[in-house]
């Protein structure tokens, strides 16, 4: 349904449930599992949030935890895989929350300007979209500040990720000035 896993940013993959061989082949060190299933293999880090894919599920209460987990994995040189059953809705919402917090993006910039270009099956449900839009309006800034404070020295990662964003479609996605440009 959601297709093969997609490389979103260096050290960040998104998709559905995969077999253990895939995790080893792609050197996955950290996993965010959104749903009942989580891989049964040894990892450096695992965040398991058992939530349903419904428009009344409140995933926003986990946005800080998700963003912090993904960012820490990447800052430590790890490779994080964010998945749900199909890799379409819950995992997309989680990755979008991270992109919005890490790079100070609006929902529109994160989804239409980037994620939908990296994973064409990305489609958070309507409830998650409402939560992400609200997060962009009032909840993102404190999470962004928290990531900067909690993980100092992340400028190189910001530069790399900014280049990835610009490569996705430099004409259609204006980025905030707060995100450093390439050196």
Question: First and final CA of the chain: distance in angstroms?
Answer: 40
- CA triple 48-106-7, angle to 5 deg: 50
Taking Cα atoms as reference points, which of 60, 58, 50, 150 lies closest to residue 97? Answer: 60
Exactly one of 79, 80, 84, 123 is catalytic; which is it? 84
79 is catalytic: no
Strand spans (E) along the chain: 6-9, 12-15, 30-34, 45-49, 80-83
On whether the CB atoms of residues 67 and 82 are closer than 8 A, the answer is: no
Reported for 21-25, long-range contacts at CB under 8 A and 24+ positions apart, including other chains, are 23/81
Measured CA to CA, the distance from residue 159 to residue 163 in angstroms comes to: 6
Instruction: Catalogue the active-site residues.
Output: 84
């Amino acid at each position: 349904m959601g297709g093969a896993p997609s490389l979103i940013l260096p050290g960040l993959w998104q998709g559905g449930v995969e077999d253990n061989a895939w995790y080893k082949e792609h050197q996955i060190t950290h996993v965010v599992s959104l749903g009942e299933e989580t891989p049964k293999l040894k990892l450096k880090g695992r965040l398991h949030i058992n939530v349903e894919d419904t428009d009344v599920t409140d995933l926003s209460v986990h946005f800080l935890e998700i963003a912090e987990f993904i960012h820490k994995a990447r800052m430590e040189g790890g490779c994080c895989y964010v998945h749900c059953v199909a890799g379409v809705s819950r995992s997309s919402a989680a990755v979008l929350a991270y992109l919005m917090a890490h790079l100070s993006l609006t929902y529109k910039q994160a989804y239409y300007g980037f994620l939908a270009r990296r994973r064409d099956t990305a489609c958070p449900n309507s409830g998650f979209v409402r939560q992400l839009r609200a997060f962009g309006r009032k909840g993102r800034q404190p999470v962004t500040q928290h990531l900067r404070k909690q993980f100092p020295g992340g400028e190189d990662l910001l530069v790399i990720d900014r280049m990835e964003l610009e490569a996705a479609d430099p004409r259609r996605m204006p980025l905030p000035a707060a995100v450093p440009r390439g050196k």
